Amino acid sequence: MATVKSWMLDRLLRLLTARPLDPHADPRVIRERLNRLAVRFSGKTQGVNVEKFDLQGLPAEWLVPHTPDQNGTLLYLHGGGYVVCGPDTHRPMVAALARNAKTRALVIDYRLAPEHPFPAAVEDALKAYRWLVAQGTPPESITVAGDSAGGGLTLALLLSLRDAGDPLPAGAALLSPWTDLTMSGWTHVTNRKRDPMLSTEGALLASHHYLAGASPSGPLASPLYGRFEGLPPLFIHVGGNEILLDDSLRLAERARAAGVSVEIKVWPDLPHVFQAFRFLPETRASLSLIGAFLKASMEQGATARQAAD
């Protein structure tokens, strides 16, 4: 059942998204506006140190909790339809995850469309992961997480690593992942009027910018159509009001059928990536559970590594 605060959020989001979608809007202008708003209104990031740096030509930042007790690393891939957002827009949410998991988090500002279409984002995620390993970070101590498009990108990264023979991370957390760019999920229909955040038209426009003519059903663009054998444990949180709800439900079903450990939680009456709204009690609960999963995955990875040694 929705809380009063989640009901208020639903009303607010409907007001903010009431204006008809402009298919000719320049994503670069929208991106710059969102980043400015994030810097202006997000406030001081609590409980972590922010360290910006250059990762082989890729803007990146470390979020390091003041009192970490994990030697592992979280690689976070932000959402935004592959066309908007970045570390500035996602810093408070990733900081909360880093604090809850008690580990440092690496956030990369991967290249965005339309300037850098598919597969640029996948290439940058691979670069960041391989850089971590080359720096001496054991793969068993790495976890990966992402929201929306970043959740799909997280899965594309796992598929790419497995197929290339790279060592895999200890686990992956997915927040409202966008796994199907063909938009074939039934909740695009059933939740069309319930979702105050996303529209199928908006998702189609983002995929148009990102794919730039590439097939929407390829497994690195739409990981739902990939093979899941051999992937690490997956932890999925998704809102019950989302048009992308089926992207998570079908993913969990297909991953389990492939023998992958999957835990999925559907949060009733909540919108897409509700964890971005810090005032919700559900946000605190969700980020706490995700942080606990990430922490446990890194601990299990460390134990397995010690046993192997």
pLDDT of residue 25: 77
Question: What's the number of CA atoms in the CB half-sphere (13 Å) around residue 244?
Answer: 35
Distance (Å, whole) CA 117 – CA 208: 9
Enumerate the domain spans of the chain. Answer: 41-303
Distance (Å, whole) CA 253 – CA 69: 34
The residues annotated as belonging to the active site are 148, 242, 272
Homologous superfamily in CATH for domain 41-303: Alpha/Beta hydrolase fold, catalytic domain (3.40.50.1820)
pLDDT of residue 309: 60
Query: Read out DSSP for 135-161?
Result: TT--GGGEEEEEETHHHHHHHHHHHHH
Query: Read out DSSP for 209-258?
Result: HHHTTS-TTSTTTSGGGS--TTPPPEEEEEETT-TTHHHHHHHHHHHHHT
Q: What is the pTM of this model?
A: 0.93
User: 82 near 210, Cβ under 8 Å?
Assistant: yes
pLDDT of residue 14: 61
Written as six digits, the tokens of 91 are: 């810093």
Mean pLDDT by 10 residues, the chain (309 residues): 67 63 75 75 79 97 86 95 94 96 97 97 98 96 98 98 98 98 96 87 94 97 98 98 97 98 96 91 96 95 68
pLDDT of residue 233: 98
Tens digits of residue pLDDT in 55-109: 999 999 999 998 767 679 999 999 999 999 999 999 999 999 999 999 999 999 9
User: What residues contact 80, with CB distance under 8 A and at least 6 apart?
Assistant: 31, 34, 86, 89, 112, 148, 149, 150
Distance (Å, whole) CA 106 – CA 19: 35
Distance (Å, whole) CA 264 – CA 255: 11
Burial (0-12, 13-18, 19+ Cβ within 10 Å), 4: exposed
Backbone phi and psi for residue 126, each to the nearest 5 degrees, phi listed first: -60, -45
CB atoms near residue 254 (< 10 Å): 18
